Amino acid sequence: MRISVLALALLVGHAGFAPAAGNVDFHAQILPILNASCVSCHGPDKQKGGLRLDSKAAAFKGGDDGVVLVAGEAAKSELYRRIILPDGSDDVMPNKGDLLTKAQTDLIRDWINEGAPWPETAPVKLAAPAPEPDAPASDFKPGAAELKAAASLRAMGVELWPVAAGQPWHEATLRSQGGSNMDAALAQLKDAASLVSLDLAGAKFSSASLANLKSLTNLARLHLEHTQVHDADLANLSGLGRLTYLNLYDTPITDAGLEHLKGLTHLRNLHLWQTQVTEAGAAALQKSLPQCDIDRGWIPTAIEKEDSAAKK
């Protein structure tokens, strides 16, 4: 029998354990992750594995498999073992929907190691998981405006490539193109409603031309690495509700730019290497997007910086 992440996490409270103070905020950082992955299987209408999770007392009582989390020791916890299993493993959790990101499993690991504290508050009302975005219409066909735009782009040397045989969806790559040609291409792309993946890595474009991305509402993947995209430019992405991947590596983006991304609730991967985003800024965004793996790359610690300075 498979037990969900939320089911396991809720088994934390055993008699006599006094949780230690830690840095992970259960309500802000852990509960949203657990809600989105597991609550539908362990509520008033369904108690998978004999677990009822609509009250703390019921959750602490456990289920058919007993307690599977060792407070203070993630390495000995079945919860942590299962959520870090590779995709396709029989015991991986959650066993339906998206797997947890590394950022999420790290948070749960840290929470367990801190004693898995569950604040003694009023009964927690577990929210239902946020619905996935509506799938693009299966009978979608490019309209006349898109066909005209595709012809214009082809004349510029830009192709809209089908993502799979027999599918109406397309991807486009404009890597390292620059100047007025790039702005002209983006002006045509605004009519490419079938676009689900766009690669602008290294491209040179004006900020004004990024407004053309607003109409690409089926876009799921967007590469903006090695560009001069600025904080205000990210406002053009705020309505792209199907966006799941965004690469901002080596851009001037700061914490202010991340404010425009907080509504992208289906974003799963965000790359922020070599940007001006701070640890605090990334943490604030993580609270709004608990399902997103926010990758800031390798950040040298204070000790490493001191060692590096001493060697000079």
pLDDT tens per residue across span 72-124: 888 887 778 878 988 888 877 777 777 878 888 888 888 778 877 766 553 44
186-236 residue pLDDT tens: 999 999 999 999 999 999 999 999 999 999 999 999 999 999 999 999 999
Range 144-295: architecture per CATH: Alpha-Beta Horseshoe (3.80)
Least confident of 50-54, 142-146, 152-156, 206-210: 50-54
Give the pLDDT score at 22. Answer: 54
Task: Give the pLDDT mean for 42-66.
Answer: 59
Instruction: Scan for tokens 């890595």, then name that residue.
Output: 201
d(CA 246, CA 236): 13
- Output the average pLDDT for the chain: 77
Task: Give 271's strand partners.
Answer: 247, 295
For the chain, the distance separating the N- and C-terminal CA atoms, rounded to the nearest angstrom, is 58
Residue 26 host element (H or E): none
Report pLDDT for 263: 94
291, burial (CB in 10 Å: exposed 0-12, middle 13-18, buried 19+): buried
Q: What is the pLDDT of residue 245?
A: 92
pTM: 0.57
Q: Angle at Cα 2 formed by Cα 42 and Cα 109, nearest 5°?
A: 85
- 104 vs 294, higher pLDDT: 294
Residues above pLDDT 70, as percent of the chain: 66
Residue 276: pLDDT over 90:
yes
CA dist 32 and 39 (Å) reads: 10
CA distances from 61 to 50, 67, 132 (A): 10, 8, 32
Instruction: Compare 308 and 112 and report the one with higher pLDDT.
Output: 112
pLDDT band of residue 14 (cuts 50, 70, 90) is very low
Nearest to 38 by CA among 96, 86, 106: 96
* 3-class secondary structure, 170: strand
Domain boundary assignment for the chain: 5-113, 144-295
Question: Which residues are CB-contacts of 210 (< 8 A; sequence separation ≥ 6)?
Answer: 186, 229, 233, 236
Quote the pLDDT of residue 140.
79
Q: What is the pLDDT of residue 141?
A: 83
If pLDDT is split at 50, 70 and 90, which confidence band does 17 have? very low
